[in-house]
Amino acid sequence: MSTEKESALLGFSLQQLTKLMEELGEPSYRGRQMFEAIYQGRVERIDDISTLPLTLRRRLVEKGLGIGQPEVQKRFVSSDGTVRYLLAMSDGQSVEAVLMPEGDGGEAGDGSEAGDSRETDPARNWDRATICISSQVGCAVDCQFCLTALLGVKRNLSGGEIAGQVCAVLQDQQVNPPQDRVNLVFMGMGEPFLNYENFMAAVRLLVDGVRIPESRMTVSTAGVVPRIADFGAEPVRPKLAISLNAPNDELRTRLMPLNRKWNLETLLAAAREFPLRARERLTFEYVLLDGVNDAPDHARELAERVRGIRAKINLIALNPGPGIGYGTPAAGRVMEFQSILMAKGIPTFIRRPRGRDIFAACGQLKGTVEALS
Ligand code: SAH
């Protein structure tokens, strides 16, 4: 990334790049060449677009254009293979992205192929990976167990900045979809449904440009109900996960203040109406907080509430962190919670914690790094 402020091309669609080329008096196929260089080649500089004539590259640079791929500011590799990135945008704001080799099994059971494995490059010791990306700098939703909430919301990311995180991580890891299998989760910092248009623009760039199939993508919302219906009507869309985290309004409002605006009844009504595709399942996420929402009675109450919805439940034992007033339940407690749900016929998975040794909790990397610097 250049230090001078450039206008980013990463974020432009094929149509927009084609129009740009035509406006410059260039043949329209140059638009596709740029599109492929940015999203498939993942070039970091216009100079590196070898398919364009040198004079054209120079003209683009002189117009103040640049690629705008986020810059890897920090990279932490965990003993479990997880890689956490702090990625800097052109204005210096940074967000987190995480690469998890082999996924964590949390994709299983939702009707996608994401849980299958495949033979691949023997030089790499994993054959598929999940990348988790951010949708906003910080977050406004204020969930009481989440570290990103402590940052507040700084700004929305643009579609290019959201898709650009994937480009930066793929580039860093030398991973190339569609040959290399990549799953994508919009579960990093921010609430995607409070930055809906940019989030959806990123999805389209990632499908058309980076060539990650929508069936390998999942977006998670804290429960911005009106957007759930909008999302269901999208012709191209990831799968949907909803962060439930509590089986009743009293508890949910305490943990997630946005429940005052959209309570469980309206949220679950939207979930029931959500138009699922063939073999698709909704995912409900449930962060288990020691002694707060993890009792057997909570599991039974939860099973009642989601009854009849074609969904699976992902249980996540809290990733603890500084400034979070909750603890992580013991493994036995998590398993008991799971077995109650399973006995009621609800497919329930326990997501294993990742990268605990590298500031694992959501939002913790940014906060920790900024506190140190
Ligand atoms: N705003 C969206 C997406 C980002 S959070 C949402 O709320 O769904 C992604 C997931 O991480 C959510 O299910 C959230 O409940 C969970 N989460 C947040 N903080 C966590 C923590 N400290 N430990 C474990 N999971 C956490």
pLDDT band, residue 357 (cuts 50/70/90): confident
The residue ranges of DSSP E strands in the chain, in sequence order, are 7-8, 65-66, 71-77, 83-88, 94-101, 128-132, 136-138, 153-156, 181-186, 217-221, 239-243, 282-288, 311-317, 348-351
181 CA distance to ligand 1 middle (Å): 24
Q: What is the C-alpha separation between 74 and 87, in angstroms, rounded?
A: 7
Give 216's DSSP letter: G
Tell whether omega for the bond before 178 is within 30 degrees of 0, i.e. cis: yes
Q: What is the C-alpha separation between 83 and 6, in angstroms, rounded?
A: 29
Tell me: pLDDT of 371 over 80. Answer: no
Write out pLDDT tens, residues 253-292: 999 999 999 999 999 999 999 999 999 999 999 999 999 9
59 CA distance to ligand 1 middle (Å): 44
State which of 130, 287, 351, 354 you would mutate to test the pocket of ligand 1, scoring each by most atoms of that ligand within 8 A of its C-beta: 287
Q: Which residue has the tokens 């040959």?
A: 179
Percent of the chain with pLDDT over 90: 80
Q: Which residue type occupies 263? A: N
Residue 186 in contact with residue 218, Cβ under 8 Å?
yes
Active site residues: 96, 362
Which tokens sit at 258? Answer: 């946005």
- Of all helices (H) and strands (E), which one includes residue 361? none
Q: Which residue has the tokens 């679950």?
A: 268
133 CA distance to ligand 1 middle (Å): 12
Ligand 1 closest atom vs CA 241: 8
305 phi/psi in degrees, rounded to 5: -65, -35
Percent of the chain with pLDDT over 70: 88
Write out pLDDT tens, residues 292-320: 999 999 999 999 999 999 999 999 999 88
- Alpha carbon 10 to chain centroid distance? 18
Q: What's residue 127's pLDDT?
A: 73
Q: What's residue 362's pLDDT?
A: 57
Bridge partners (DSSP) listed for residue 74: 86
Top pLDDT among 270 and 116 is at: 270
Ligand 1 closest atom vs CA 320: 22
Helix pair 159-173, 29-39: axis angle to 10 deg: 60
For ligand 1, residues with CB inside 6 Å are 141, 145-147, 187, 191, 220-222, 243, 245, 285, 287, 316, 318-319, 361-362
How deeply is 117 buried, as exposed, middle or buried, from its count of CB atoms within 10 A (0-12, 13-18, 19+)?
Answer: exposed
Using H for helix, E for strand and C for coil, what is the string for 120-146? Answer: CCCCCCCCEEEEECCCEEECCCCCCCC
Average pLDDT over residues 320-335: 92
Among residues 321, 338, 325, 342, which one has the least CA distance to residue 290? 325
